[in-house]
Amino acid sequence: MGVLRVVAGTMGRISTFKSYQFVLLLAAALAVVAFYYFGSEKQNFSSTTKRIKHTQASHNANRNDADLTLDTRLPHPDGSEEEGGEERDAGEESEDSRFRRADSEAVGDQHYHALMMFTKVDKSRSLQEKFRVAMLSMVKHGRFLEGEVLVLHFVSDQASQELGERMLLEFLLDATFKYEVVFHDVVALTQKLFPIVEAMQKHFSAGSGAYYSDAIFFLSVAMHHIMPESLTRIVQLDLDLKYRTNIRDLFQEFDRFPPGAVIGISREMQPVYRHTFWQYRKENTQSKVGEPPPDGLPGFNSGVMLLDLGAMRASALYNQLLEPGNVAKLADQYRFRGHLGDQDFFTMIGMEHPELFYALACGWNRQLCTWWREHGYGDVFQLYYRCDGPVYIYHGNCNTPIPDD
């Protein structure tokens, strides 16, 4: 019996112990339930996991080795918000995105703006290689002063932008100057451009009509209407360039513009317009239209252009020439039908109003294409192609290889 009492006493203690364990387990379970279902954010396990994954994905997406941050609305790298705390308006937010070098922007910085077309680059290895050559050579020779910022604008579709952002992380890595990168949505810009340039497209487009998508090839023609008025000067550059000097020096050419000039541009270095103006030349045998330099009017090449947007806005003559009736009148007068977009428009109005243009030295746009030499113009080709003086920028137009030097 004594043994039995001991056993019974032991069983009683074990039963009490198990009851205590059960109470503890129940309390713990209730605590877990209370945490997930009655917490201040009322999140369950699944939503919490999703948030962690989203945070990790966002962190990885915004990582870069070139020390850039995506979107100007993000805090600056020093942790402070952008000065003034102002947000871009909804229209601008949808049209472009930016990332910049991790230097807080000082008040009073002088900005140098350069724009490149960057559409369908994701589908072309050739364009990607041209972009690599252009950016690496620009960075190699680029030098800016304290308080100066190079702003690189790219007109792009979404897929090309995503590729371009990744490429620029590498290409801008060794830049010794401050920079900012802005991607503009090609669709949004085309919507703005089309009503302005629709009438001229049939005269200067490769197609038989005014195609909506062609409007973007006339961006430089009407950029003074598209860009904000605070932007007064911009350089537009082709992708197939190689820089042999400091791009900052190109911007100094603005100061050489004579009164009345609104655009700086180099002459065409092939007999393109000798051919295009053939009918006008036949009817006007004494005309200099299409003739080679230095005394002729060979037309322009749009690979490198300096656009004085302030002067373009202020020029009554230039804006009159954009009107559909005046475009048609000049095209008829010169028997002109082209396919090179803005370059054709500038060439045509330049025949009539050369005072609107400042002729850049050929070294700023040393075109390398020789297509017309083998297509009927070999006897006069060198008269157009010759370029004396230093070469500052090579232009590998018509897919011509660019020298390694």
d(Cα 234, Cα 71) in Å, to the nearest integer? 22
DSSP 246-313: -HHHHHGGGGGPPTT--EEEEEPSSTHHHHHTHHHHHH-TT--BTPPTTTSB--EEEEEEEEEHHHHH
Q: Does domain 90-399 have CATH number 3.90.550.10?
A: yes
pLDDT score of 278: 95
> Residue ranges of the domains in the chain?
90-399
The secondary structure of residue 39, as a DSSP letter, is S
pLDDT score of 153: 98
pLDDT score of 97: 72
d(Cα 120, Cα 158) in Å, to the nearest integer? 9
Cα end-to-end span (Å), the chain: 109
pLDDT score of 57: 35
Task: Give the three-class secondary structure for 211.
Answer: coil
pTM here is 0.76
pLDDT score of 195: 92
pLDDT score of 310: 98
pLDDT score of 96: 67
pLDDT score of 66: 29
User: For each of the chain's 405 residues, which pLDDT tens digit applies?
Assistant: 333 332 333 334 334 444 545 545 555 555 444 434 444 333 333 332 333 233 333 333 332 232 222 332 223 333 333 333 344 443 444 456 777 653 444 567 999 999 999 999 999 999 999 999 999 999 999 999 999 999 999 999 999 999 999 999 999 999 999 999 999 999 999 999 999 998 888 888 766 455 566 899 999 999 999 999 999 999 999 999 999 999 999 999 999 999 999 999 999 999 999 999 999 999 999 999 999 999 999 999 999 999 999 999 999 999 999 999 999 999 999 999 888 899 999 999 999 999 999 999 999 999 999 999 999 999 999 999 999 999 999 999 999 999 997
pLDDT score of 179: 97
Classify the C-alpha dihedral 62-149-243-405 as positive or negative: negative
Q: Which residues contact 267 (CB under 8 A, 6 or more apart)?
A: 293, 298, 299, 300, 301, 359, 362
